[in-house]
């Protein structure tokens, strides 16, 4: 079953939480796709691109800027996030974009509709990622590209270390698994693509990193995570339900993230897997 | 105490093992430094660059090509590797390079000799990396750069998973720790630089990845690791000495790596930390 993304992508989400997702752009979250996008655009400026699990739409909007003569559709399973995505598009002044509700398991489009079908941090949260990839392939034109970038949460490394931050890591991995997701998604993408029916020769695999380490990055991350620990995105409620944390744990983790953000030598980094599938 | 690198960088090392290190170039192992190198070269084509722990010299040689009017010195604590490094330089036809024996803790150069002082996968293996960074800073000119790239071995992710490959990971981390090294080096670089006496504002931190996933990359990695498991680089001898593995374990791990290399969906990836320190 498809899960809601355990994120803050809802109306009324506190700003600190939203800012954690809204820093995402095509440039920082889909760099592996951009050379291919560029070469495809040169032969066809009117590319149709689908961003699945678009959330607040910041990646979708940056795609729409990269293909001004093309068209972008962002879908998200959570209809409540769509007004925020539309607002992001309006603020950016882009016209060649629209957002609609849709599940990655059953995309509301005919076969072979898009030149490029993309998702970011979606497969990591769902139970049958190979079915999702098969559906993404269905709506992609022959000769088109399906692209996915997913974190490998087990590679997350945080410095300085503390027992509270380690506890937080385990809490998040536990929530992901309890929700049907796969904390080691990044390393499994090729395996999932093969299970979706493609040949290995159709798949290009790469890896990249996401990190937080400058004072402003540390503040953004710390505030976003503390916000979740205070109850945003129902994290606290779910954690207690699954027996993954106590009220005391949450307060200690909040303190630990606040301390972490103040450390000159602090960083958090994680590896992401990336696949380009040539249909 | 400084440790020999647990590598194959010795005369008589089997080719498979050597090939694991000799694929390293400035482009794939020092990409984070190259924009800075380029801008420094524009104002001074006669840059002096020191590569500490140069091993087989493949990175040093690619640096020497990038600064044809500059000069590169590669040092390694292990004098036995120097002939191989010189052979690599001769094969590449570069003249502006030399290799000599030297310890990262006591570099055989006066203060402020080099414009750029670099090391790759050295600090991860030694007991007092902050002292090594302080020594690298000593031989670097004011206005020059000290750069280091070190793996974070605890972020290594291997797919498909198996108990034998997990055992191998623990064996390698155990050997690194037993030898005085730090498997989580990548995430600690800023902390070590601060301990070496620099200000946080002098340090630029980044992260990148190393991965093996194409058929030829998988074969190179698998053969190199199997070679070590058969006794190369004294891995087997050291592992038994530290109680980190039995003879049966080694044979099982060799089989597991051979199987891994044959898997279409196999990959191994790891995160690296990178620092540029402005002196």
Query: pLDDT for A75-84, tens place per residue?
Result: 999 999 999 9
Percent of chain B with pLDDT over 90: 82
Q: Is pLDDT at A122 greater than 70 in this prediction?
A: yes
Higher pLDDT, B20 or B221: B221
Q: Is pLDDT at A90 greater than 60 in this prediction?
A: yes
Gap between the Cα atoms of A145 and A137, Å rounded: 8
Look at residue A140 in the predicted model and tell me its pLDDT: 98
- For the record, the structure tokens of A195 come out as 């299970």
Residue A17 — very low, low, confident or very high, per pLDDT cuts 50/70/90? low
Of A2-6, B47-51, B122-126, B234-238, which gets the smallest average pLDDT? Answer: A2-6
pLDDT digits (tens, 9 = 90+) for A124-139: 999 999 999 999 999 9
In chain A, the residue whose alpha carbon lies closest to the alpha carbon of B204 is: A214
Q: How far is CA B188 from CA A246, A273, B275, in A?
A: 30, 23, 10
Q: Is pLDDT at A12 greater than 80 in this prediction?
A: no
Q: Which residues of B touch A269 (CB under 8 A)?
A: 152, 155, 186-187, 207, 271, 273
Residue B20 — very low, low, confident or very high, per pLDDT cuts 50/70/90? confident
pLDDT digits (tens, 9 = 90+) for B216-230: 999 999 999 998 888
Q: Is residue A263, in this structure, part of any structural domain at all?
A: yes
> Most A CBs within 10 Å: which of B184, B185, B209, as the mutation test of the A interface?
B209
Q: Is pLDDT at B233 greater than 70 in this prediction?
A: no
Q: Is residue A121, in this structure, part of any structural domain at all?
A: yes
Q: Is residue A5, in this structure, part of any structural domain at all?
A: no
Gap between the Cα atoms of B67 and B46, Å rounded: 8
Look at residue B228 in the predicted model and tell me its pLDDT: 85
Which residues of A make CB contacts under 8 Å with B? Answer: 152, 154-155, 157-160, 184, 186-188, 190-191, 194, 200, 205-209, 211, 213, 264-265, 267, 269-271, 273
Exposed/middle/buried for residue B262 (C-beta within 10 Å: 0-12, 13-18, 19+): exposed
Look at residue A238 in the predicted model and tell me its pLDDT: 82
pLDDT digits (tens, 9 = 90+) for A248-257: 788 999 999 9
pLDDT digits (tens, 9 = 90+) for A142-168: 999 999 999 999 999 999 999 999 999
Question: How close does chain A come to B43, measured CA to CA in Å?
Answer: 29
Contact B205 A213 (CB under 8 A): yes
DSSP assignment of B126-146: SS-HHHHHHHHHHTEEEEEEE
Gap between the Cα atoms of B63 and B26, Å rounded: 6
Domain span holding position A172: 16-278
Gap between the Cα atoms of B31 and B36, Å rounded: 10
DSSP assignment of chain A: -----SS--STT--HHHHHHHHT--HHHHSGGGHHHHHHHHHH-TT-EEEEET-TT-HHHHHHHHH-TTSEEEEEES-GGGHHHHHHHHHHHT--SEEEEE-BTTB-SS-TT-EEEEEEES-GGGSS-HHHHHHHHHHTEEEEEEEEEEEEEEEEEEEES--HHHHHHHHHHHHHHHHTT--TTHHHHHHHHHHHTT--GGGEEEEEEEEEE-SHHHHHHHHHHHHHHHTTGGGHHHHHHHTT---HHHHHHHHHHHHHHHH-TT-EEEEEEEEEEEE-
Max distance between CA atoms of chain B, in angstroms, equals 58
Q: Is residue A4, in this structure, part of any structural domain at all?
A: no
Q: Is residue B258, in this structure, part of any structural domain at all?
A: yes
Residue B117 — very low, low, confident or very high, per pLDDT cuts 50/70/90? very high
Gap between the Cα atoms of B230 and B14, Å rounded: 11
Question: How close does chain A come to B268, measured CA to CA in Å?
Answer: 8
Question: How close does chain B come to A174, measured CA to CA in Å?
Answer: 18
> Most A CBs within 10 Å: which of B184, B267, B274, B275, as the mutation test of the A interface?
B267
DSSP element (H, E) containing B253? helix B247-262
| Summary mean pLDDT of chain A | 92
Q: Is pLDDT at B97 greater than 50 in this prediction?
A: yes
Q: Is residue B2, in this structure, part of any structural domain at all?
A: no
Gap between the Cα atoms of B28 and A220, Å rounded: 31
pLDDT digits (tens, 9 = 90+) for A37-49: 999 999 999 999 9
pLDDT digits (tens, 9 = 90+) for B153-181: 999 999 999 999 999 999 999 999 999 99
| Summary mean pLDDT of chain B | 92
Q: What interface predicted TM-score (ipTM) does this complex get?
A: 0.90
Q: How far apart are the first and last CA of chain B?
A: 26
Q: Is pLDDT at B239 greater than 80 in this prediction?
A: yes
- For the record, the structure tokens of B53 come out as 């722990």
Contact B265 A208 (CB under 8 A): no
Q: Is residue B1, in this structure, part of any structural domain at all?
A: no
Q: Is residue B98, in this structure, part of any structural domain at all?
A: yes
Number of Cβ atoms within 10 Å of the Cβ of B43: 7
Q: Is pLDDT at A121 greater than 50 in this prediction?
A: yes
Q: Is pLDDT at B249 greater than 90 in this prediction?
A: no
Mean pLDDT within A220-243: 84
Q: Which residues of B touch A211 (CB under 8 A)?
A: 205-207
Which residues of B make CB contacts under 8 Å with A? Answer: 152, 154-155, 157-160, 184, 186-188, 190-191, 194, 200, 205-209, 211, 213, 264-265, 267, 269-271, 273
Contact A157 B213 (CB under 8 A): no
pLDDT digits (tens, 9 = 90+) for B64-79: 999 999 999 999 999 9
Look at residue A16 in the predicted model and tell me its pLDDT: 56
CATH number for the domain spanning B48: value is 3.40.50.150
Of B157, B243, B4, which is closest to residue A187 (Cα–Cα)? B157
- A219 φ/ψ angles, rounded to the nearest 5 degrees: -65, -45
In chain B, the residue whose alpha carbon lies closest to the alpha carbon of A203 is: B265
Q: Is pLDDT at A30 greater than 60 in this prediction?
A: yes
Structural domain total, chain B: 1
Order the strands of the A203-212 sheet from edge to edge.
A97-101, A71-76, A48-52, A114-120, A140-159, A267-278, A203-212
Out of B157, B187, B208, name the one closest to residue A152 (CB).
B157
DSSP element (H, E) containing B277? strand B267-278
């Amino acid at each position: 079953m498809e899960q809601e993304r355990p994120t803050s992508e809802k109306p009324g989400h506190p700003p600190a939480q939203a800012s954690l997702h809204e820093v995402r752009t095509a440039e920082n979250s889909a760099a592996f796709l951009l050379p291919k996008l560029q070469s495809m655009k040169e032969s066809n400026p009117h590319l149709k691109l689908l961003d699945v699990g678009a959330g607040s739409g910041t990646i979708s909007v940056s795609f729409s800027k990269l293909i001004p003569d093309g068209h972008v559709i962002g879908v998200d399973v959570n209809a409540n996030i769509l007004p925020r995505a539309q607002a992001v598009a309006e603020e950016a002044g882009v016209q060649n974009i629209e957002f609609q509700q849709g599940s990655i398991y059953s995309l509301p489009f005919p076969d072979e509709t898009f030149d490029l079908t993309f998702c970011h941090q979606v497969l990591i949260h769902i139970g049958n990622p190979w079915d999702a990839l098969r559906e993404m392939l269905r709506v992609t034109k022959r000769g088109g590209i399906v692209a996915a970038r997913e974190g490998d949460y087990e590679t997350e490394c945080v410095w300085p270390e503390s027992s509270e931050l380690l506890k937080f890591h385990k809490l998040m991995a536990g929530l992901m698994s309890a929700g049907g997701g796969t904390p080691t998604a990044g390393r499994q993408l090729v395996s999932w693509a093969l299970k979706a029916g493609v040949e290995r020769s159709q798949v290009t695999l790469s890896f990249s990193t996401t990190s937080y380490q400058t004072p402003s990055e540390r503040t953004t991350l710390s505030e976003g995570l503390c916000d979740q620990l205070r109850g945003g995105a129902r994290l606290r409620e779910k954690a207690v339900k699954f027996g993954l944390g106590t009220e005391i744990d949450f307060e200690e983790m909040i303190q630990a993230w606040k301390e972490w953000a103040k450390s000159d030598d602090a960083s958090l980094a994680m590896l992401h897997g990336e696949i380009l599938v040539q249909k």
